[in-house]
Chain A
Amino acid sequence: MTSLSKSSLDTDSRFSIGKIFRLNKLGRRILSLVIFFGVWQFLCAIKFHFFINFNFLPSPIEVVEATWEFFHDDPWVHFRSSILRVLLGYTIASILGIILGIFIGAWQKVDDFLSPPLELLRPIPAVAWIPLAILMFPTAEAGMIFITFVGGFFPVLISTVKGVESTINDTVLIRVGQCLGAKSWHIFKDIVIPGALPSIASGLVIGMGNAWFCLVTAEILAGRYGVGYITWESYVTSNYPPIVMGMLLIGLMGAISSWAISHLTSALMPWRSIEKQDA
């Protein structure tokens, strides 16, 4: 309870506006979401149109209805398709990103050869990859996996490179290895890689979110199934509520999987999770 509860705002009745300030942190956060959806619903209901047009925007209620329908009509075939595509694309992206990242971070010559083309490709947005995906890959499925791959690859690559580079630049730790008799291999395995792990982990988390983010783009190529496909199809057929539903579902799956990656990688870094004790 904050001291505002005793302010003059609260003198009249127990149901005055002062009550809002008496909510705790959770209460305030829930209230903020209620207000958010409430305003959205309101603006749709009154068909608000002043520069921004709320006429065609689905209201929260319509989105909930669409979600209800979606879950009643075999949603799992869509979830399965999408999850498999992201998983495959992301796994390949992580493995390739980490391996290349280590080589580029550790060896100047590799950096000189690989960085220029990669830097050219990195800024290209997922949508722009669609034509190439169609032309270069034998199946639409492969093309879709490629686009989620692109989403996951670059964050993992860059953070691996930075992690490796910054550990190599830590003169003290490298010298620690040297004066204990460590050869290059030991320095790499016991100092450089563990030192780079936190950076790699954050890249993996960002890459996962990004891979989901590219999913809608990827599933523009999809035949019949997929959450991103549903979203795109709904847009094309002017059925708007499922668009918002699809966006939210993808966002949710992205957040859940990022959280999962975050926890998995934390398990690999036990030295970072324990509380400090006094000695």
Chain B
Amino acid sequence: MSLAELQDRIRDAAARGAPLRLRGGGSKDFYGNEPRGELLDTRGYAGIVSYEPTELVVTARCGTSLTQLENVLRENGQCLPFEPPHFGPEATLGGCVAAGLSGPRRASAGALRDFVLGVKLVDGQGRAMAFGGQVMKNVAGYDVSRLAAGSLGTLGLIAEASLKVLPLAACELSLELECSEAEALESMNAWAGQPLPISGTAWHAGRLCVRLSGAEPAVRAAAEKIGGTRIQAQQLWHDVREHRHAFFGGSAPLWRLAVPSVCPPLGAPGGTLIEWSGALRWLRVQDAREIAAQAGGHATRFRSHEKREDVFTALDPVAMALHRRLKAAFDPAGILNPGRMYAEV
């Protein structure tokens, strides 16, 4: 598949006013509001365009398998620092950037959008455009690349993305501590204020797991300071990231709450799994919107069996007006993944 073919599909759909459902491997079909429109499968537009480890940048097409991309990076001693969840072996780079989700390392390394250096975007009129680039610092023009990241394909098809990559940590180990939710929140926030190489935290049902990554002397010193028991936890971090952990099983709705990390225990029934030093709280309740609002954060109905509408927290009228006008600028015919993020865009 060529870029021109993707552009043609979009131009044609725009001319007919026919909604398009942009989709890579479909690993995140469950996420966001109900997808609709004719399927535009991006997997045919795949491959790494350029990768030079010493430049710390990789550029790849949207259909590139996320697993394959990560394997190539690993062979060169590097990684995607935001540790993206795949949610299935078929995950693609395009879907990863469009969904904008980050994994356990987010609290220390940064979010997906922090590592987006540039994109090639096909807008709703089928125009292929390049924003940002392949260099670390670039302030020419508005930051459309980061705007596209996490926009769920509603502003354009991310045909190609350039991401900053980083070296794999020389040393990594995990610790387990027994503690209550309140104690865990206290500890995680206190540690985050100290120069410790913490690269992941997860608390659930009285168990706090802490991952340390970095230079060997730093990791060793931090492990002594934090205490607890050393555990083999590669599988655990994978299961937390990919929602294979037992907490994520069952059919109750799964809510993702982003809150200020210092927010006290939310006290919701059904238990919680906490990540990101307290800033990310997963809940199994019917509706978590009010809880999130009370906590000064926002809630996403991440997975549920109900009709998928209003999955994301509503925006205030000024913000929504900006969203509508941006959508009109990028996709005047309103054909790209309409409604997937908000009914209005």
Question: Are A and B co-members of a single complex?
Answer: no
Residue positions of B touching A, CB distance < 8 A? none
